[in-house]
Structure 1
Amino acid sequence: MQRIFRNLTGALFGALLCSVSPVFAQQDGGLSNLGVVQSLILTIAPEALYAQSEFGKRIAREIEAESAEIAAENRRIEAELTAEERELTELRDTLPTEEFRARADAFDEKVQNLRREQDEKARAVGQRNEDARRALLTAVQPVLLQLMVEAGAVAVLDRRAVLMSVDSVDITEQAILRANSEFGEGEAILPLRP
């Protein structure tokens, strides 16, 4: 009796699988057979997309070079100002008080101006990084839209804003590969620095 029940159960289960499989294949248009994740919601890590893309790596190299130039310039300026301050200190005893005060004030103003200029250069480098990040996220929207269409998704969320998800809905790596293929180092997104 148990054997008959098991055989009957097995036959019913097999028939059920055969009838359900075509329904699922019709619902996803057969995409599940292509290895494309099917999910209404997808996630992406924008920081990783930027940092790991060829474009982001190029910008990082450029920013590193610009930062090194600013640091070298800061060291040169510091050495010049130190020498100038030393010379001014030595003249303190030989110059009339008013002349010394005028030179000291001019030196202080020069130091403040140079500090502002160098700070502005550093801010500009940081702003370039933010501008590049935004430019990539704008440029990559058609790529993300295509990934959404392929997955049958209705939304792509920033992974940081998602409390919990399975790794299979994260499209960061696919987006990086497609962005690299589409844009390379991104000269069309942001021109190379001279």
Structure 2
Amino acid sequence: MKIWRVLLMCLCAALPARAQEVTPQILVFDMNRIYFETLYGRRIADDLNAVATAVQAENEAIVATLTEEERSLTERRPQMTPEDFRAEADAFDAKVQEVRRVRDAKNVELQTASAEQRAAFEERVQGIIANVMFERGAVIVLEQRSVVMSVRAANITDDVIARVDAELGDGTQP
């Protein structure tokens, strides 16, 4: 009986070490980390941030101009006839509405560009993820957000980040 206990304890002690040596058949990766921690993803994020900053600066300049026009109209109102004031106020309102429409379109354009850049990034990275999967003999790869729990050995994010940097750099080369 004592031999069985010793044998069972040896087997139990060997299981975790053996489990770490086996390549998991299912691998996981974190696409957000890959995007924000690779040279390629950071370049895209920096480029988009620069465009967003420029759009914000344009917005602030436009707001300053419109604020000044509104102040001028308000100051001139006592010297204007009601009809003249109404005409200028309507023209100003129309201008504000047009500016708002153009700015909204610019923001949608920026969001669309961001989504397209992210999709292009993910498409280029898929091949690298597939190569890691095949090299490790895995049968499936899941995005981290779809996984409830996994062992660290199943996560290939660090390897994918290193390979994206090595193979794609900042993504400017085709």
Name the TM-score, length of structure 1 as normaliser: 0.75
Larger radius of gyration: 1
Decide which of 52, 65, 73 is 1:80's aligned counterpart: 65
Q: CA RMSD in A?
A: 2.3
Give the gaps of 5 or more residues in structure 2.
Answer: 11-17
> What amino acid does structure 1 have at the position aligned with 2:112?
Q
Deviating more after overlay: 67-76 vs 144-153: 67-76
The aligned residue for residue 15 of structure 2 is none
> Number of residues paired by the alignment?
160
| SS of match in other structure, 2:78 | coil
The 10-residue stretch of structure 1 (45-54 or 85-94) with the greater mean CA deviation from structure 2: 85-94
Match of 1:49 in 2: 34
* Alignment match, 2:106: 121
- Report the AA paired with residue 185 of structure 1: D
Distance 2:58 2:156 in 1: 42
Find out whether 1:108 has 2:93 as its counterpart: yes
Counterpart position of 1:132: 117
SS of 1:140 mapped into structure 2: helix
Moved more, 156-165 or 90-99: 90-99
Residue 116 of structure 1: how far off its partner (Å): 2.1
Shift in Å at residue 101 of structure 1? 0.9
Give how far 1:154 is off.
Answer: 0.9
Contact persistence 2:23–2:153 (CA under 8 A): no
1:174 and 2:159 aligned = yes
**Could you tell me which residue of structure 1 aligns to residue 132 of structure 2?**
147
2 CA distance for matches of 1:52 and 1:124?
A: 25
User: 2:44 is matched with which residue?
Assistant: 59
Runs (4 or more) in structure 1 with deviation over 4 Å come to none
Secondary structure (helix, strand or coil) at the match of 2:79 reads coil
Compute the displacement of 1:119 (Å).
Answer: 2.4
What is the one-letter code of the residue matched to 1:57?
Answer: R
Q: Unpaired segments of 5 or more residues in structure 1?
A: 14-23, 25-31, 190-194
Q: For each residue in 1:123-144, what CA deviation from the matched residue of structure 2 results, as whole angstroms up to 9, or x when unmatched?
A: 3222222212211111112211
Structure with the bigger percentage of helix = 2
1:158 and 2:161 matched: no
